Each structure stands twice: as C-alpha cells, then as structure tokens.
Amino acid sequence: MRIIGIETSCDETGIAVYAPGEGILAQQLHSQIKLHADYGGVVPELASRDHISRITGLIDRCLQQAGLEKSAIDGVAYTAGPGLVGALLVGVSVGRSLAYAWNCPAIAVNHMEAHLLAVMLEEQAPEPPFVALLVSGGHTQLVLVKAVGEYELLGESQDDAAGEAFDKTAKLLGLGYPGGPQLSALAQQGRSDVHHFPRPMTGKPGLDFSFSGLKTAVALAIAGLDEDEQARADLACGFVDAVVDTLAIKCERALEATGVNQLVAAGGVSANVQLRQRLQDMTRARGGQVFYPRPDYCTDNGAMIAYAGYVKLQRQTGEPLSFGARPRWPITA
C-alpha cells in the first residue's frame, strides 16, 4: 500500500509518499519563507496562491522521485485543518480531485494529529499510552494519547501559542521571519543569569498555558536596554529559558497527573535544541523517556500527512465526495 500526503495548511507545500514496512519513499517540500519575509509574517492570500502554483509540480516530482506511476497510489491524504482556510482549500481540492481521478480513497487528516504521529516514523517510537506536547506556530497543547486515534486534551494555550511567542519576540529583537530558529540561535550566545522572565501559569494548578504576557515582559525589558549584540542575546536567552522552563514544568505535571512516563514533543517548536535538552533532562530524572520526530519532521512536512493518512485509512474507508476545510479542528473531534 502506498499513500500520498499533501500538506498546505500554512506556508509550506509538502508532499510525500508513505508505504507501510518501507517508510517514506519520497518527499518534496517548498517553503514560502522568502515570499512572506518582507511582511514579517504569513500573508494568507499570498500563501494560497503560492500553494496553487506549486502543488501539482511537487506531486509530479514526488512520484518521479519514488519511481511510481499514479496508478500505484492507494490513497490520497491531505491536511483538512486546522490552518489557514484558503491555504487548506488548495490541498483539500487537489487531494480530493486526485483521489476521484485515481479511484482511491481520499483521507482528511488533522494537522495536529499528524504532528503527533510524526514520531512514529522514527526508529525510536513510543507505544501508547504517552503524553504529547504539541508546540507549533498556532497551537500549544498537552494531549494524553491513550491509543492512536484516542486522544484526551489535557491543556492548551489560552492566548498565544509557543511558536507565536517565539515569532513575536524575535520580531521585537529585530530578527527575521520565522523567528523561532533565529531567536534560539541568538539565545545560545546569551547569559542565562541576566534576565528572569515569568513562567506563566506555573504557580497555579492546571495544564493550560499563556504566552502573550512574556513578549510584553521582553518588550518592556528592551525599552531600557542598549542596542548591543550581547544585550539582545541575553534577552533572547531569558525568553527561551522562560518558555522552555514553562513547557517542561507543565509536561512534568501532565506526566504526574496521568501516571504515564513517556513523553512526545512535536510541532515546529519541538525542533528547538534548548527544549529538547530540557525535556530530556526532566524525563531522565523521572526514569522516563522523551521521544521526538527528527527536526525536519517537527516543522510542517508532507511525510507526517502521508503517515497519518495511512493510520486513518486503517480505521475507515474513504470519505463521501462532499468536501470542506476545517480551519478550526480540535484533535479530539
């Protein structure tokens, strides 16, 4: 069986083919970073148009790379949500049209579930139950994975997502879009004892997050600062420490509350080296284990959609021909 996956929920057009037992046979990824860089963030209309102009070429190239005819494809998986509605609709309509033309099932994939399942493509993969920390540009969630497909939302951000906080703070520090990786690199030049920013919502019980206050704390700190490189690096370091600490504290709390000792971190921010190290230390100290997708599978990609599509196809047989995008699609629904 071979499933092609199509990702167009935000600013990456990702295509991949997955085959059980063999893994990812081929993948193509086009990032729109350059397109949006001048605007300091994703411009939804530009994103949709760019997906349209790239998608069929990338699908052709992916099939070619895998050495497959289209008749060899047994299912077409596409991200149906959550994400930008115009961008989603490109993948939804192309995915469903191809499935119709190729006479195979069309599989609507939840982007956050795909992030969560990406870790299963690694040699070191956990067996449920485990707790998953999903940290992307639009979402920060803690999910109890009782079984693949059976999820309980334990907590989520009440305002900005962790990735959003990274991007907004990076902008305050004059770094380009997307800010996460650049802010993380700058933080490595900084000193961790200069700033101590709040660890939001860690002082009271619960597993929800709030990150919007952190960027305000950084903005206030910037106002009273010299514009030299070391000062910016120190600020970046203080910010990253605060986010990483907050995420780690909540993860540990979620492990304690559920009695589970395996943690998965997934989504763009889980590529962050400081977070990976911190979660590693925290789980080790508890005698547990943390699992990550490889960095390329933490950020948006077609491989996780192809794999999640395969998993979903095991549970159902295709979908009715009416279609839609779900810009807000809870992982538990």
User: Counting contacts by CB under 6 A, is residue 13 touching ligand KG4?
Assistant: no
100: tokens are 């119709």
Tokens of 66: 């895998």
| CB of 111 or CB of 199, closer to ligand KG4 | 111
Cα–Cα dist 326/235, whole Å:
38
Instruction: With H, G, I as helix, E, B as strand and everything else as coil, classify residue 263.
Output: strand
5 touches, from Zn ion, ligand KG4, none (C-beta below 5 to 8 Å by class)? none
- Verify binding: residue 136, Zn ion, rule CB under 5 A: yes
Q: Which is nearer to ligand KG4, 118 or 260 (CB)?
A: 118
Rounded least distance, CB 122 to Zn ion, Å: 17
Q: Could you give the angle at which helices 179-187 and 162-172 cross, rounded to 10 degrees? A: 70
CB of 89 to ligand KG4, least distance (A): 17
- Give the separation between CA 40 and CA 125, rounded to whole angstroms: 36
- Name which of ligand KG4, Zn ion, none residue 179 binds, using a CB cut-off of 5 to 8 Å depending on partner kind: ligand KG4
For the CB of residue 219, give the shortest distance to Zn ion in the complex, in Å.
Answer: 26
Q: Tell me the three-class secondary structure of 2-56, residue by residue.
A: CEEEEECCCCEEEEEEEECCCEEEEEEEEECHHHHHCCCCCCHHHHHHHHHHHHH
Nearer to ligand KG4, 6 or 271 (CB): 271
113 binds Zn ion (CB under 5 A): no
Q: Which stretch binds ligand KG4 (CB under 6 A): 34-42, 100-108, 175-183, 307-315?
A: 175-183
Tell how far CA 269 is from the center of its chain.
7
The bridge status of strand 106-110 relative to strand 75-81 is parallel
User: Of 167 and 234, which has the nearer Cβ to ligand KG4?
Assistant: 167
136 part of the interface to ligand KG4, by CB under 6 A: yes
Give the interface segment with ligand KG4, choosing from 94-102, 145-153, 173-181, 320-328 (CB under 6 A): 173-181
Angle at 203 between CA 213 and CA 140, to 5 degrees: 55
Q: How far is the CB of 1 from ligand KG4 (least distance, A)?
A: 27
Q: Report the residue number, 136 or 157, with the smaller CB distance to Zn ion.
A: 136
181 binds ligand KG4 (CB under 6 A): yes
Least distance to ligand KG4, CB of residue 301, Å: 8
42, 51 in Cβ contact below 8 A? Answer: no
Interface residue with ligand KG4, options 160, 241, 252, 300 (CB under 6 A): 300
Under the binding rule (CB under 6 A), the answer on residue 137 touching ligand KG4 is yes
Burial class (CB in 10 A: 0-12, 13-18, 19+), 204: exposed
| Residue 7 CA from chain centroid, whole number | 12
Which residues are CB-contacts of 60 (< 8 A; sequence separation ≥ 6)?
Answer: none
Nearest to ligand KG4 of 98, 308 (CB atom): 308
In the complex with ligand KG4, the residue whose CB is nearer, 258 or 270, is: 270
Contact yes or no for 261/211 (Cβ under 8 A): no
CB neighbours of residue 101 within 10 Å? 10
Residue 261 phi, psi (nearest 5): -120, 10
Residue in 161, 300, 311, 312 binding Zn ion, rule: CB under 5 A:
300
Give the nearer residue to ligand KG4 in terms of CB position, either 163 or 238.
163
Residue 238 found at the interface with ligand KG4 (CB under 6 A): no
* Candidate residues 78, 166, 211, 292; the one interacting with ligand KG4 per rule CB under 6 A: 166
- Contact residues toward ligand KG4 (CB under 6 A) are 10, 136-138, 163, 166-167, 178-181, 184, 267-269, 271-272, 299-300
- Contact residues toward Zn ion (CB under 5 A) are 136, 300
